Amino acid sequence: MNRIDQKFHALRGQNKKAFIVFITCGYPNLNITKKLILEFAKIGVDIIELGVPFSDPLADGPIIQEASQIALKRGVNLNDILNLVKDVRNDIDIPLCLMTYYNPIFCFGEENFARRAAACGVDGIIIPDLPPEEGNSFIRLANKFDLDTIFFLSPTSTRERIKFVSGVSRGFIYYVSLTGVTGPRQNLSKDLTSNLRVIKKLTGKPVCVGFGISGAEQVKAIYKIADGAIVGSAIIKKIRENIDKPDLVKKVGKFVSGLMG
């Protein structure tokens, strides 16, 4: 049982749901990223997703795309991010997932990446552009090194697809709440509750909802029907709003605390 499994086990025992945050590594720089990770751990975030900047982030909307481009211009790469995880592991025990597109892993080498990620203290891997049907070799390697492979379900997923994704996912299942890319939305999808009821009948694994979540009321609504809520773009936007301020980390931390309720 790795850190992600332990976290959901503990939350179930407390009748609580997971609050998961996403930030782009290297935005605005790696030093700030480290400080944000430590701040999130301190205020009680349950899991942190660390986005690996990539030049063609097909699942991401303009807010995260911009953050990725700025990080890339600073030269931030996968090796830097693994070193960052290794560094913060001296101070925190919070579950950390990498959210990366497949190309950086391919260039790194699947086995080399899996071995190094596990050694540095990564707990889970989310790869938006790797369908599980095409990820057999990576899934085997992830299992070998006790890395959770977190795959996606969406509003268009069939019952057969739900069962298949449940079978290959470890840690939790990432439910994309809408068709489209990441980015804050004013309202949750109308079919969110009914879709999640179907999924929960077909899997016993935790299901967490992401894409479009930007407010505390939305987080509360998701807690009623899922095992966790994932917030990304709204946090990146808050970073952007405070990017030149010396108290950026505290302001972002306060914003995240407000989302958590």
Active site residues: 49, 60
- Residues with Cβ within 8 Å of residue 168, at least 6 apart in sequence: 132, 135, 139, 149, 151
- Segment holding 171, helix H or strand E: none
Closest CA to 119 of 82, 92, 91: 82
DSSP-based three-state secondary structure for 190: coil
Helices within 89-179 (DSSP H only) = 102-108, 110-120, 136-144, 159-168
> From CA 79, how far away is CA 149, in angstroms rounded?
20
Indicate left, alpha or beta for 188 from its phi (over 0: left) and psi (-120 to 50: alpha).
beta
Task: Copy the structure tokens of residue 243.
Answer: 């990017």
Name residue 48's beta-bridge partners. Answer: 21, 96
- CB-based contact 205:169 (threshold 8 Å): yes
DSSP-based three-state secondary structure for 124: strand
Q: Which residue has the tokens 């070799």?
A: 137
> From CA 227, how far away is CA 222, in angstroms rounded?
8
SS (H, E, C) 42-62: HHCCCEEEEECCCCCCCCCCH
